[in-house]
Amino acid sequence: GAGVSQSPSNKVTEKGKDVELRCDPISGHTALYWYRQSLGQGLEFLIYFQGNSAPDKSGLPSDRFSAERTGGSVSTLTIQRTQQEDSAVYLCASSSRFSRGPRSNNTQYFGPGTRLTVL
Amino acid sequence: RKEVEQDPGPFNVPEGATVAFNCTYSNSASQSFFWYRQDCRKEPKLLMSVYSSGNEDGRFTAQLNRASQYISLLIRDSKLSDSATYLCVVNTAYSGAGSYQLTFGKGTKLSVIP
C-alpha cells in the first residue's frame, strides 16, 4: 500500500517568507509526527498528533512554527517569517496506534521529507 | 551528557567484514530501543527493535545492556548494500510529566568498500 507522502519534495524560499509543508500519513494511522534534520545532525522532534487529542507541541523551536492536522489525516506544518537557520529536511512519520509511553514499540514510518532551503 | 550518543564514524570496512556500532543513552527509565537505517538523502527506516535478551535478524544482531545503558548493533559479512547511516533510537521520557518520545542519535555512517 501507499506509504507516507510529503510535498513539496524541495522548497526554496527567501528569508521572511512563509512556507507550508504537507504530509499525508499512511491510511488508518492515528499518530503523526513532524521532525527536522539539519545537515549532519540527528532528527529533532517538532510536534506529535494522536487522534483527536491535543497535539504535543513541545518540540517546536519558536512561535513561528505551527502545525495542523485536519480530519485526523493530512497535516500541514507552517513556518512563518522563515530564517536561514530553518533550512533543513522536514520529515513526517506516522504509526498505527497510540505510541507514547515507556514501552511503546510501534514502528514509525517516515515520508521522504521536504528539503527546505531559506536564502 | 547527550540523551543518545553514538560512535561518530565514519566506518569504512571491506566487504565481508564484521562491524559493530555502539550507542549509549542517558535516561535509565527508557524501555524501548531501536536501530533505524538511513540511506543518503533518504528517510529513516526501522532496521530492528532491540530486546533485553538480544535479538538477531539474519546478519544483524542487536544487544542491550541496561546496567550500562548501552546498545549495540553487529553486522556480519558486510555487503555493499549495507552502506548507510545507522541511527540509534531510544524511547525517552521528557517534560517530567510521564510523556515519552523517540529520541534519535546523530547516527554512524558506514561505508562498505569492494
Which residues of chain B make contact with A43, given a CB cutoff of 8 A?
A: 44, 87, 104
A108-112 CB contacts, 8 Å cutoff, 24+ apart? A108/A33, A108/B46, A108/B102, A109/A3, A109/A4, A109/A26, A109/A29, A110/A4, A110/B43, A110/B44, A110/B45, A111/A3, A111/A4, A111/A5, A111/A6, A111/A23, A111/A24, A111/B43, A112/A4, A112/A5, A112/A6, A112/A9, A112/B42, A112/B43
**pLDDT confidence bin for B99, thresholds 50/70/90:** low
- Min Cα separation B80/chain A (Å): 22
Q: Inspect the interface and report whether the beta carbons of B100 and A58 lie closer than 8 Å.
A: no
Beta bridge partners of A75: A23, A69
Report pLDDT for B98. 47
Which residues of chain B make contact with A100, given a CB cutoff of 8 A?
A: 99-101
Collapse the DSSP code of B108 into the 3-class scheme (helix H, G, I; strand E, B; otherwise coil) and give the result. Answer: strand
Tell me the average pLDDT across B80-103: 78
Radius of gyration of chain B from its Cα atoms, rounded to whole angstroms = 14
Residue type, B12: N
Report pLDDT for B84. 96
Give the cell for residue B56.
538477531
- Contact status, residue B74 vs residue B18, Cβ threshold 8 Å: yes
Q: What is the pLDDT of residues B50-62, one digit of tens each?
A: 988 889 999 999 9
Residue type, A6: Q
Whole-angstrom CA distances from B75 to A23, A36, A65, B34 are 33, 28, 40, 15
Which residues of chain B make contact with A45, given a CB cutoff of 8 A?
A: 101-103
Tell me the average pLDDT across A87-102: 79
Q: What is the pLDDT of residues A3-59, one digit of tens each?
A: 999 999 999 999 999 999 999 999 988 889 999 999 878 889 999 888 878 888 888
> Secondary structure of A88-115 in the HEC alphabet?
EEEEEEEECCCCCCCCCCCCCEECCCEE
